[in-house]
Chain A
Amino acid sequence: MGARPLPILGEARAVMAQATANTVEPMGFFTDTTVCIGCKACEVACKEWNQLPARGDGGAHLEMSGLSYDNTVRLDGTTWRHVKFIEQFPEPYNGRWLMMSDVCKHCVQAPCLEVCPTGAIIRTEFDTVVIQSDTCNGCRDCIAACPFGVIDINHVSGTAQKCTLCYDRTTVGLEPACSKACPTDSIQFGPIAELQQRAQRRVEQLQAQGESKAQLYGADRNGPLGGLNAFFLLVDEPEAYGLPRDPKLPTRNLAKSSMLSTLGAVVMTAIGALTLRAKRLVAVAKEKQS
């Protein structure tokens, strides 16, 4: 997650900058995975507050994943919080569980917002990213753009949905349901600047205790996607938690891909013009000969 120039197109950057200009104060989540106990209170609180069904299809019967104690399996259109259970057991009685309450990262430069062709995805005054369900038409471009696999279709509404960082609660000064319900303060809500300081102190504390791999994921404002408004404290590599090491904007491929296609189009037009007009040239040559 080192600092480097962000591969974002000029106009897209300008639009995002304009959107963030109206920000009151960036708010977000700091999730300290070292104190997560996997109770899933955040998942339940999220579903309860946002009136989301237990299952994506609205059914009551819950299926076991058969993989681990993690039966939620992934974030989707009706699961906006997901407690990952990561079993690291090299031997039967020697190992550990890593637990991480996953959520939308509310990226500072959000890939979903960047590609959304309807304008349904907006940036709020808290610098968070929200999908307006009454504008979304379910094209699913944002699902393929999100590098974290956060967004999915809600089959009841037919639209893409994800965590809103409880926009309806934050606008009236309330804390999001998940962080409110978290019994260990693994999920902390607040102004990003304040959360970053708290997170940095916690990393230093853990490293002093010998947890050498303790690191922040997404806290660096000069890092990928301009930083994440929902960032994490990890004690292993990002991949161990199912997180991309270097998430990118989808438009990184736009210029090169478009140029190659345009070049091909010009070449094929020229080839087409040459092959398809050959007969006429032959006819003209014959006329001249005769």
Chain B
Amino acid sequence: MNALASDLWPLTSVVWPVASVVQGIPSDTFYTGPPHFRWWIILYFFVGGISGGALLVASLLRLFGGREDTHFIRLGVYISFIGCVISAILLVVDLGVPLRFWHMLVQDNTGRLMFKWWSPMSIGAWGLLVFGFFSFLATLRALWDDRRLTWSTLEFLQRAPISIFGAVGGIIGGLFLAGYTGVLLSVTNRPIWADSEWLGLLFLLSGISTSVAALFLVSRWRGIRVPSTEKRLGQFDRIALILELVVLVIFIVSLGSVAKAFLNAWGVLLLLGVVGVGIVMPLRMGREAAHNVATASILVLFGGFVLRVVVLLGSEQIHVVGAQVIR
């Protein structure tokens, strides 16, 4: 049991003094071993969601917004690029042999490209690379617009076809990065993750809401106030949060009897931390009052992070010991 206890998240020793045997196994997924997707992966899912959502919002504003949106476009692009770099670092650090990260992209024995369209992790590695390209392109454009880069060769980035290409790529790449992580979890055999097909959509919506929250928070920190942009972003965020709540309920219902896995502290955290603090409270507060913006944004970010913690660690704690399933 010592080995089992050391495998569990440190907090579990506080929350559950004794791991309990699962009675009446609700799904065949309960026999799969935990892949040790912990803090690096949780952080990656969180930061990757923000990064993807930020480029999506910035690209949408570039395509459909007005001149007054320029500040938020740049902020979104910078957030996405920094998030993309952090995401790549987190993914590499999480590997058992980090220096072999390139094996995801190139076959080490043949030198050919390594790509499996039916493996979300393989698609994800390529997706992050493509997303990084569009994020980098958008960052160069933002730096040019900001007059922080003055190389004349970058002038072509302002041309309409390139601008549209970058924005469309940013929308597709951003949506992909925000959502594929949930699909990756569904395409496993682990309890909770593989018992529902709704995780991809849930993470996508959460990525969008957390990215808008990050945009609001950074804009406040940088002293940027553009009421017209903020109003429209607030509307977009409100819809994303409502849809996130709906999809979260559908996700729990779709688990069927596996939802019993949340009849513990993780379930309480999901209800209070994600639904209560991360969705309902920010929706009730709104962002009309200026002093609410930062608070609501912090709550949304907190809820988005807790969602990933609950989904990942809620499954991670389920083990097979001998012939018994323990949680």
- Give residues in B with beta carbon < 8 Å to A: 1-4, 25, 28-37, 56-57, 60-61, 63-66, 68-69, 95-98, 100-101, 103-104, 107-109, 114, 116-122, 125, 171, 175-176, 179-180, 182-184, 186-190, 193-194, 197-201, 204-205, 208, 228, 232-233, 235-236, 239-240, 243, 247, 319-325
- 8 of the cross-chain contacts (CB-CB < 8 Å) are A56-B3, A114-B119, A115-B119, A139-B95, A144-B33, A147-B28, A254-B120, A276-B69
Interchain CA distance A9-B103 in the complex, whole Å: 24
Looking at the complex, which one of B63, B116, B197 makes contact with A256 (CB distance below 8 Å)? B197
**A67-B322, A114-B119, A253-B186 known; A260 vs B200 contact (CB < 8 Å):** yes
Q: Beyond the given A146-B32, A248-B189, please list 15 additional residue pairs across the A-B interface where CB-CB is below 8 A.
A: A11-B118, A65-B322, A100-B323, A117-B114, A117-B116, A119-B107, A140-B37, A145-B32, A148-B31, A253-B187, A253-B194, A257-B198, A257-B199, A271-B240, A276-B69
**Contact A137 B65, beta carbon cutoff 8 Å:** no
A283 touches B179 (CB 8 A): no
A149 touching B118, Cβ below 8 Å: no
Q: Which residue of B lies closest to A86 (CB)?
A: B323
Least CB separation from B325: chain A residue: A242
> Nearest Cβ distance between residue B233 and chain A, in whole angstroms?
8
Q: How far is B313's CA from A270's CA once the two chains are assembled, in angstroms? A: 33
Alpha-carbon distance between A254 and B103 when the two chains are bound, in angstroms: 23
Q: Are A275 and B32 in contact (CB under 8 A)?
A: no
Measured in the bound complex, the distance between the Cα atoms of B290 and A227 in whole Å is: 62
B96 in complex: contacting residue of A138, A280, A283, CB < 8 Å: A138
**Contact B323–A240 (Cβ < 8 Å):** yes
Interface: A63 (CB within 8 A): yes
Q: A135 at the A/B interface (Cβ < 8 Å)?
A: yes
Residues of chain B lying within 8 A (CB to CB) of residue A247: 28, 31, 189
Determine whether the beta carbon of B37 is less than 8 Å from that of A144.
yes
Establish whether residues B1 and A67, one from each chain, have CB atoms under 8 Å apart when the complex forms: yes
CA of A66 to CA of B101 in the docked complex: distance in angstroms? Answer: 39
Contact indicator A144/B28 (Cβ below 8 Å) = no
**A257 near B182 (CB under 8 angstroms)?**
yes
Please tell me if the beta carbons of A149 and B104 are within 8 angstroms of each other in the complex: no
| Most chain A CB within a 10 A radius of its CB, from B56, B63, B97 | B97
7 nearest interchain CB pairs? A138-B96, A242-B323, A158-B96, A137-B100, A261-B200, A244-B28, A277-B64
Known A-B contacts A73-B322, A135-B108, A158-B97; the reply to A116 vs B236 at CB < 8 A is no
Q: A244-B28, A272-B56 are in contact. Are A115 and B65 (CB under 8 A)?
A: no
State whether A145 touches B64 (Cβ < 8 A): no
Question: Which one of A136, A246, A258, A279 lies within 8 Å of B232 (CB-CB)?
Answer: A279
Which residues on the A side are within 8 Å of B31 (C-beta)? 147-149, 242-244, 247
User: Which residues of B sit under 8 angstroms from A271, Cβ to Cβ?
Assistant: 236, 239-240
> CB distance A145 to B189 under 8 Å?
yes
Flag A163-197 by CB within 8 Å of B: 1 or 0 each: 00000000000000000000000000000000000
Task: Tell me which residues across on chain B come within 8 A of A149, comparing CB atoms.
Answer: 31-33, 320
Partner of A264, one of B32, B180, B204: B204
How big is chain A's contact interface, by range? Answer: 35 or more
Interface residues of A in 111-145 (CB under 8 A from B): 111, 114-120, 134-141, 143-145
Q: Nearest residue in B to A56 (C-beta to C-beta)? A: B3
Whether the Cβ atoms of B97 and A248 lie closer than 8 Å is no
What's the minimum C-beta distance from B287 to chain A, rounded to whole angstroms? 13
A265 x B179 contact (CB < 8 A): yes
Question: Which residue on chain B has the smallest CB distance to residue A135?
Answer: B108
Across-interface contacts of B2 in A (CB, < 8 A) = 63
Instruction: Give the distance to chain A from B227, nearest Cβ to Cβ, in Å.
Output: 11
By a CB distance below 8 angstroms, the chain A residues around B3 are: 56, 63, 65, 73
What 0/1 readout, one digit per residue, does chain A (98-115) give for beta carbons within 8 Å of chain B? 001000000000010011
Residues B36 and A143 in contact, CB atoms below 8 Å apart: yes
Chain A residues with CB under 8 A of B175: 265, 268-269
Q: Given A138-B97, A147-B189, A279-B228 in contact, is the A12-B118 Cβ separation under 8 Å?
A: yes
Determine the chain B residues whose CB is within 8 A of the CB of A91 once the complex forms: none
Contacts of B122 in A (CB 8 A): 117
With the chains together, A280 CA to B69 CA distance in Å?
11
Minimum Cβ distance to chain A for residue B62 (Å) = 10
Interface string of A229-268 (1 = CB under 8 A from B): 0000000000111111111101101101110110111001
A86 touches B232 (CB 8 A): no
Name the A residues within 8 Å of B194 (CB-CB).
Answer: 250, 253
Chain A residues with CB under 8 A of B120: 115, 254
Contact in complex: A139, B1 (CB < 8 Å): no
- A158 vs B101: C-alpha distance when bound (angstroms): 13
Measured between alpha carbons, how far is A276 from B234 in the docked complex, in Å? 10
Q: Which of B29, B65, B200 is the one whose CB lies under 8 Å from A276?
A: B65
Q: Is B60 touching A257 in the complex (CB atoms < 8 A)?
A: no
Docked CA distance A268–B247 (Å): 13
Contact partners of A134 in chain B: CB under 8 A: 108
Tell me which residues across on chain A come within 8 A of B32, comparing CB atoms.
143-149
